[in-house]
Amino acid sequence: MNTPRRITLIVAVILALGTGVLTLRYLASLQQKADVQQQAVETRPIIIAARDIPARAKITPDMLIRSQRAGAEIEPGALADAKQAEGDIALITIPAGSTLTATKVGLPIEVGLTYRLKPGMRAISIPVDRVKAVSGLIQPGDRVDVLAAVPRAPGVQPKAVTIIRGALVLAINQTLEIAGATPSPDSANLVTVVLGVSAAQSDLLTMADLNTTLRLALRSPQEPVRSMLAENLVFPDIPTATGPQPAAFPNVPPPAFAVRPPPVGVPPSSVTIIDGDKVTSGGR
């Protein structure tokens, strides 16, 4: 008789404990939902666009409106004060009513190409296509090597040399920055690549662009820029400074000047004076 009672008592205790645990979990979930609802109800000030703001436009006070939105609806990095955006540049097109965030606006130094050039650097563009620019996978900010293939010459083995190493890619066509890990659709119509090089390298690149075939090789970001030296660009059909040079003056005899005869009626003299095309005779 005692054994069944004990079993019944143990089962009752277990059921009571289980019911208590389930009740606590239920109450905790209700509290969590209440907290979320309360947070959603609470509003915070944000700044939204009063009208469409085109990309790269300077943001002025008349473009902004202060508004209130629920905390759960506010985008990460939303600006709460108009002064945080005034004078900045719209990095992308911001439609009317959209929230201004720290990722949508920036300083002019973050946008303009000239501000990205360090002292001594030059921005120069070269024509490319998808083959010459690594299938269009190169993005602004990458480092590339510039290879120049010298034209064929009779009796000379074709050769390609790396004339510039670690050149900084500043822009693809007219795109200064690509958001995301994949190239933009603009890279499908790859036409030009803007490189940041030194003044001497810009001269070399211009000459190589006019006389050779250029290609770009993408570098690993972990590889130091100066891990390898650049190679000299030499054209086989142009003599070098140490090679054979043409004679400065050809071996041609000097021209003979014909002497005009003395005028009629003037006796010959032992001295004939030629002054340009005028011939005069002097006395003995």
Same domain, 89 and 36: no
Same domain, 127 and 193: yes
Residue 85, in any domain of the structure:
yes
Q: Tell me which of 218, 236, 262 is where a domain ends.
A: 218
Please give the mean pLDDT across all residues of the chain. Answer: 76
- The rounded distance, in Å, linking the Cα atoms of 40 and 274 is 111
Phi, psi of 88, deg, nearest 5: -80, 175
Same domain, 76 and 137: no
- The rounded distance, in Å, linking the Cα atoms of 57 and 64 is 13
pLDDT of residue 206: 93
Same domain, 129 and 191: yes
Q: Which two tokens stand for residue 1?
A: 């008789």
Same domain, 127 and 212: yes
pTM of the model: 0.46
pLDDT of residue 204: 93
Residue 148, in any domain of the structure:
yes
Same domain, 61 and 74: yes
Q: What is the DSSP letter of 153?
A: B
Whether the per-residue pLDDT at 269 is higher than 70: the answer is no
Whether the per-residue pLDDT at 56 is higher than 90: the answer is no
Q: Burial, 238: exposed, middle or buried (Cβ in 10 Å; 0-12, 13-18, 19+)?
A: exposed
Phi, psi of 106, deg, nearest 5: -165, 170
- The rounded distance, in Å, linking the Cα atoms of 182 and 142 is 13
Assign 152 a pLDDT band (cuts: 50, 70, 90).
confident
Assign 164 a pLDDT band (cuts: 50, 70, 90).
very high
Residue 159, in any domain of the structure:
yes
Q: Which residue has the higher pLDDT, 76 or 177?
A: 76
Residue 281, in any domain of the structure:
no
Mean pLDDT of the region 156-172 = 87
**Which residues are registered as beta bridge partners of 90?**
105
Q: Which residue has the higher pLDDT, 60 or 176?
A: 60
Residues 7-33 pLDDT 10s: 777 777 787 787 878 888 888 887 777
Strand ranges (E), the chain: 43-49, 64-70, 89-90, 105-106, 121-127, 143-149, 160-172, 192-198, 213-218, 271-275, 278-282
Q: Tell me which of 110, 135, 151 is where a domain ends.
A: 110
Residue 259, in any domain of the structure:
no
Q: Which of 2-6, 11-15, 23-27, 227-231 has the lowest mean pLDDT?
A: 2-6
Same domain, 3 and 68: no
Residue 278, in any domain of the structure:
no
Same domain, 50 and 98: yes
pLDDT of residue 214: 93
Same domain, 75 and 131: no
| Sequence-ordered alpha helix ranges (H) in 115-184 | none
Residues 110-146 pLDDT 10s: 556 776 778 889 999 999 888 888 888 888 888 999 9
Whether the per-residue pLDDT at 1 is higher than 60: the answer is no
Q: Tell me which of 187, 218, 249 is where a domain ends.
A: 218
CATH number of the domain encompassing residue 98:
3.90.1210.10
Residue 233, in any domain of the structure:
no
pLDDT of residue 186: 54
pLDDT of residue 264: 56
Residues 183-207 pLDDT 10s: 555 555 778 899 999 999 999 999 9
- Print the domain residue range for 15: 1-41
Residue 232, in any domain of the structure:
no
pLDDT of residue 203: 92
pLDDT of residue 267: 54
Of the chain, the percentage scoring pLDDT greater than 70 comes to: 72
Q: What is the DSSP letter of 232?
A: -
Same domain, 140 and 210: yes
How many domains is the chain built from?
3
pLDDT of residue 141: 83
Q: Which residue has the higher pLDDT, 66 or 11?
A: 66
Phi, psi of 265, deg, nearest 5: 90, -5
Same domain, 65 and 26: no
Q: Which residue has the higher pLDDT, 108 or 237?
A: 108
Same domain, 100 and 188: no
